A and B are shown apart, each in its own frame.
Chain A
């Protein structure tokens, strides 16, 4: 089922959580809403689910072209997975998953045998078939998460909405579940919207990512585009660490980006696009002094101070490059910037 949102706004006590959001998700897509806390991504998800009413006068929410703005949550055929999982504490895993089936109106309610079969199938899908009689309190965080997913899938939703589904889990479990979710999605292919504040998660899992800030969608594109071609400084900043240079030409002489020259601009460079050289062979390098070296597992973070204005620049080197150069603190080196992105300064973040 496709989801389309046209000009939706939401205000809480004068605080604009969503301002005129337009957004379309195609059938079978897995889309992430990515942004810092308070950017409105959860509100958007809840508006789609029908748990939050959009401001009066703002545009419709269309499921497959049908206006569902006035439909109740229970009628929208959505599967919602809560950040806190919201499992029913006093029910077994089986009863949790069966809840949606048992709650159907009497005429549509499947028979007990069908419910059993269906729940068994779902528990198989989330790899919890041996845990049916356990209670939520007896499960690990990752297992609870999968029960919540199975419970949401039981009603055969046409949309799956996940609110920070891995937020409360530790890093290893997150990574595993993320991969598992990707696989699950390719198996059941239900339209899915996932809310997250973790850019790595969003980029890895989704078909498309919507980066949100202050109630607006800043960019909505594929993960590659978002990373390589950020639409504005906010998106660039949000997707990883960066160096920021005021002025369009950070090294004074060499043009970095061939955009219209304007003195009032900002230029961003990722630390792994800062190249360190011993020699200034072509004269394009910026002289800098190494002030600190920190090891970060597979890479090395080098903190440098420019000779001309003492400004701090971060560089990330592979272990190989670092060893080849044989860098030490206080060494004088030259840096070159690759893949810089410049933006006009009047863009207000």
Chain B
């Protein structure tokens, strides 16, 4: 996932101009590139937003919020049915957005901690099996998302390896935590809801999402931390700083842009994961994340609504790209200023 080149494009690695290409070849290859990328990337993305807004902004908004009729309006039974169905559709969409954000709120912080720990251990130390560890970190990239879901079903499902234990496990819904005061017990918080089992609950969705997305933070940090070496950390330690202080005040500021990019990419992937989540969700409305909601709306021939939800995810993808370009510009500039200044002691 390398980024935009910072060099003059006609220059090779040595900075010398390449021999010019034949003008006809040049034009044809540029035309092929523009056409290919337009058809396969630009048009599909534009199509998402255009379809989402095809029935106007009100229709776009109504996917999230079904407007009430004017006060005292007389509604036919058909209209009333349509209104209540719109309401329930909007409520389902909202519930999918809430669930997706909740999953991301759990998964992304875990993956940040993992990414930092993995990058630190892999780049600051040399040990046996280090390259095997790096390969393992990359493994989810080469496993089909459906298989990612399948392995959790095989592990935790009713007939799974840990099935008997997992399907009787009762765990509280962390998002149902509320303040109940000190009236009943000394502990003022309580959960109002709990789940039984793991597969076909949000916990399984979170597990599958972690499996599919944990490499992203680590992957965006490892190359940068590798190239920066450990000199600054050693300098900080030799000045008496503790390991934690060194990490916090020296390492973290040096990698903050790459970390930001990794976090945003990870978030985008958690929001957009489909295959793995689909397998472990059990296809109930309550377990629908945004991509699953899109599938349901599409299957109900509610194209505009499907595209409206999709447009949110597409927007997140576009933001990811923008951040990527900004981060590359930022770290590229940092690398540029590393070039020796004029000597003038």
Interface residues of A (CB under 8 A from B): 49, 51, 72-75, 78-80, 82, 84, 86-90, 99-100, 103-104, 137-143, 146, 151-152, 154-155, 168-170, 173, 176-177
Asked if B14 lies at the interface with its beta carbon under 8 angstroms from chain A, I say no
**B 235-252 binary contact with A (CB < 8 Å = 1; else 0):** 111111110010001100
**A51 CA / B242 CA spacing, docked (Å):** 15
Q: A137-B337, A139-B341, A142-B345 are in contact. Are A103 and B241 (CB under 8 A)?
A: yes
Q: Which of B30-68 contact A (CB under 8 A)?
A: none
Q: Which residue of A lies closest to B240 (CB)?
A: A74
Which residues of the partner chain A approach B123 to less than 8 Å between Cβ atoms?
A: none
Which residues of the partner chain A approach B241 to less than 8 Å between Cβ atoms?
A: 74, 99-100, 103
Which residues of the partner chain A approach B226 to less than 8 Å between Cβ atoms?
A: none
Which residues of the partner chain B approach A103 to less than 8 Å between Cβ atoms?
A: 236, 239-242, 245
- B321 shortest CB reach to chain A, Å: 26
Which residues of the partner chain B approach A139 to less than 8 Å between Cβ atoms?
A: 341
Asked if B232 lies at the interface with its beta carbon under 8 angstroms from chain A, I say yes
Complex contact A49–B345 (CB within 8 A)? no
Which residues of the partner chain A approach B338 to less than 8 Å between Cβ atoms?
A: 89, 137
Asked if B254 lies at the interface with its beta carbon under 8 angstroms from chain A, I say yes
Q: A86-B231, A89-B254 are in contact. Are A73 and B341 (CB under 8 A)?
A: no
Which residues of the partner chain A approach B345 to less than 8 Å between Cβ atoms?
A: 140, 142-143, 146, 173, 176-177
**A168 CA / B241 CA spacing, docked (Å):** 27
**A174 CA / B343 CA spacing, docked (Å):** 11
Q: List 8 A-B contacts (CB under 8 A).
A: A74-B238, A86-B234, A88-B235, A88-B236, A100-B241, A138-B341, A140-B341, A170-B343
Complex contact B344–A74 (CB within 8 A)? no
Q: Which residue of A lies closest to B235 (CB)?
A: A86
Asked if B73 lies at the interface with its beta carbon under 8 angstroms from chain A, I say no
Complex contact A88–B238 (CB within 8 A)? no
- A83 shortest CB reach to chain B, Å: 9
Q: Which of B301-345 contact A (CB under 8 A)?
A: 334, 337-338, 340-345
Complex contact B245–A51 (CB within 8 A)? no
Q: Which residue of A lies closest to B256 (CB)?
A: A90
Asked if B253 lies at the interface with its beta carbon under 8 angstroms from chain A, I say yes
Complex contact B343–A99 (CB within 8 A)? no
Complex contact B240–A90 (CB within 8 A)? no
Q: Which of B94-138 contact A (CB under 8 A)?
A: none
Which residues of the partner chain B approach A86 to less than 8 Å between Cβ atoms?
A: 231-232, 234-235
Complex contact A173–B343 (CB within 8 A)? yes
Interface residues of B (CB under 8 A from A): 231-232, 234-242, 245, 249-250, 253-254, 334, 337-338, 340-345
**A100 CA / B236 CA spacing, docked (Å):** 7
**A152 CA / B241 CA spacing, docked (Å):** 13
Q: Which residue of B lies closest to A137 (CB)?
A: B337
Complex contact A155–B240 (CB within 8 A)? yes
Complex contact A82–B343 (CB within 8 A)? no
- B308 shortest CB reach to chain A, Å: 42
Complex contact A88–B239 (CB within 8 A)? no
Q: A84-B231, A86-B232 are in contact. Are A151 and B341 (CB under 8 A)?
A: no
Complex contact B254–A140 (CB within 8 A)? no
**A154 CA / B343 CA spacing, docked (Å):** 24
**A138 CA / B237 CA spacing, docked (Å):** 25
Task: Choose among B239, B254, B334, B340 the residue that contacts A74 (Cβ–Cβ < 8 A).
Answer: B239
**A89 CA / B331 CA spacing, docked (Å):** 12
- B226 shortest CB reach to chain A, Å: 16
**A75 CA / B234 CA spacing, docked (Å):** 13
Q: Which residue of A lies closest to B343 (CB)?
A: A140
Task: Choose among A72, A82, A146 the residue that contacts B231 (Cβ–Cβ < 8 A).
Answer: A82
**A14 CA / B245 CA spacing, docked (Å):** 35
Complex contact B236–A141 (CB within 8 A)? no
**A154 CA / B240 CA spacing, docked (Å):** 11
Q: Which residue of A lies closest to B234 (CB)?
A: A51
B236, B238, B249, B341: which has the most chain A beta carbons within 10 Å?
B238
Which residues of the partner chain A approach B232 to less than 8 Å between Cβ atoms?
A: 86-89
**A101 CA / B308 CA spacing, docked (Å):** 56
**A13 CA / B249 CA spacing, docked (Å):** 33
Complex contact A78–B238 (CB within 8 A)? yes
**A152 CA / B236 CA spacing, docked (Å):** 10
**A142 CA / B338 CA spacing, docked (Å):** 14
- A108 shortest CB reach to chain B, Å: 9
Complex contact B344–A140 (CB within 8 A)? yes
**A78 CA / B341 CA spacing, docked (Å):** 29
Complex contact A155–B239 (CB within 8 A)? yes
Q: Which residue of B lies closest to A104 (CB)?
A: B240
- B233 shortest CB reach to chain A, Å: 9
Which residues of the partner chain A approach B242 to less than 8 Å between Cβ atoms?
A: 74, 103
Which residues of the partner chain B approach A72 to less than 8 Å between Cβ atoms?
A: 237
Q: Which residue of B lies closest to A170 (CB)?
A: B343
Complex contact B341–A100 (CB within 8 A)? no
**A90 CA / B254 CA spacing, docked (Å):** 7
Which residues of the partner chain A approach B249 to less than 8 Å between Cβ atoms?
A: 88, 99
Complex contact A74–B237 (CB within 8 A)? yes
- B272 shortest CB reach to chain A, Å: 33
Which residues of the partner chain A approach B343 to less than 8 Å between Cβ atoms?
A: 140-142, 169-170, 173
Which residues of the partner chain B approach A82 to less than 8 Å between Cβ atoms?
A: 231, 234-235
Q: A86-B231, A88-B250 are in contact. Are A51 and B341 (CB under 8 A)?
A: no
A73, A104, A173: which has the most chain B beta carbons within 10 Å?
A73
